[in-house]
Amino acid sequence: MTHTADSTSIPVGTTLSVKVPATTANLGPGFDTLGLALSLYDELEVEVREEPGIHVNVLGVGEGVVPTDETNLVARALAHVFERFGQPVPGLEIVAHNAIPHSRGLGSSGAAIVAGIMAAKGLLEGIVDIGSIELLELATELEGHPDNVAPALFGGLTIAWVGEDGPKHKKLIAHRGVSAVVFVPEAAMSTALARSLQPASVPHEDAIFNVSRSALLVAALIQSPELLLAATEDRLHQSYRASAMLETDELIRMLREHGLAAVVSGAGPSVLVLGNDPSQRLLAADLVAANSVSTWQPLMLAVDFKGATVMVHPVEGSA
């Protein structure tokens, strides 16, 4: 439920910090539905200043590349929330500490959108009460679909869907035996290009195949991780996109031949391996190092259970 109080200015000098996890979507068969939050984070430091406008200082990933003015995705998401609730955007200085690789299938755009929305939520505290339903609606409006923004917002394993009254999600807690390693290549991949390779329709038997595997995957992730290899089989999207990222496809095939649950992370080209114990991550890393001529950066990550957080630091003496 959203409640809007009388418009009041946000005190100059107010600061807040935001932390948003990376995400991996699809997880094989759960195309545009399943997502998982991972322990790799983009962080913001935000300060209200007297000068109008938004300036973003980008450090880490994207430094010197992404915009630093109001066209920055974080700034656009933040302004979108203020506009939605009829509030004037204060002058802001934002420092973005980015660790999530861009255009690699780890939800960097979703994380930026969620970071901006969470910053707006923190700044509007006491002026507008923004609940979880509104957070997901706002993020989905900007991202276009909820499969990445849901785990970024809420953490854990999420099932996301869009009903007649908007986007919805269900958060689940992954089994403690589930461990993840992501292999990140040097080359990027356009999500729009990846989506353009999808056919308008798929064979009936492939749809049935993916329904069964998606149901099995939820069970594997929350209860029976020993079933992850079978549960991550897919016929809806990975094979169609393989031509655009041949090395990703080859790596997945090799890892799966060795009994590891390897899939494309999001739209790619990173490769996600879901292990049923931590030793499988080390096995995967050894196999990639021994069998791939390309450079893949292995990221040993845990499942993030908290999702996005915001901490407000009011000006001393302010109400």
What pLDDT, in 10s, does the model give residues 23-45? 999 999 998 999 999 999 999 99
Residue 204 domain-assigned (yes or no): yes
Name the band, by pLDDT with cuts 50, 70 and 90, for residue 4.
very low
Q: Please tell me whether residues 127 and 253 are part of one structural domain.
A: no
Name the band, by pLDDT with cuts 50, 70 and 90, for residue 288.
very high
At 79 the pLDDT is 98
Q: Please tell me whether residues 44 and 68 are part of one structural domain.
A: yes
Q: Among 185, 192, 56, 45, which residue's Cα sits nearest to residue 119?
A: 45
Six-digit token pair at 102? 């861009």
Q: Please tell me whether residues 162 and 39 are part of one structural domain.
A: yes
Residue 1 domain-assigned (yes or no): no
Range of the domain at 210: 179-301
State the binding site for ATP: 101-111
Q: Please tell me whether residues 159 and 25 are part of one structural domain.
A: yes
Rounded to 5 degrees, φ, ψ at 26 are 80, -55
Q: Please tell me whether residues 91 and 28 are part of one structural domain.
A: yes
At 8 the pLDDT is 58
Helix, strand or coil, per DSSP, at residue 39: strand
In angstroms, the CA 122 to CA 154 distance is 16
In angstroms, the CA 11 to CA 32 distance is 40
State the binding site: 101-111
**Angle value at C-alpha 131, between 163 and 143, nearest 5 degrees:** 55
In angstroms, the CA 55 to CA 67 distance is 9
Domain CATH for 260: 3.30.70.890
Mean pLDDT of 215-236: 95
Residue 254 confidence (pLDDT) above 80: yes
pLDDT digits (tens, 9 = 90+) for 103-117: 999 999 999 999 999
Show Cβ contacts of residue 100 under 8 Å, excluding neighbours closer than 6 positions. 22, 40, 41, 42, 61, 106, 107, 108, 111
Q: Please tell me whether residues 16 and 155 are part of one structural domain.
A: yes
Mean pLDDT of 107-131: 97
Q: How far is CA 99 from CA 45, 68, 217, in A?
A: 14, 17, 28
Lowest mean pLDDT, pick from 57-71, 95-109, 191-205: 191-205
Residue 202 domain-assigned (yes or no): yes
Domain CATH for 35: 3.30.230.10
Residue 3 domain-assigned (yes or no): no
Q: Please tell me whether residues 26 and 64 are part of one structural domain.
A: yes
Q: Please tell me whether residues 140 and 201 are part of one structural domain.
A: no
Residue 115 domain-assigned (yes or no): yes
| Torsion region of 246: left, alpha or beta (phi above 0 gives left; psi -120 to 50 gives alpha) | alpha
In angstroms, the CA 51 to CA 28 distance is 47
Within 13 A of 132's CA, how many CA atoms are on the CB side?
A: 13
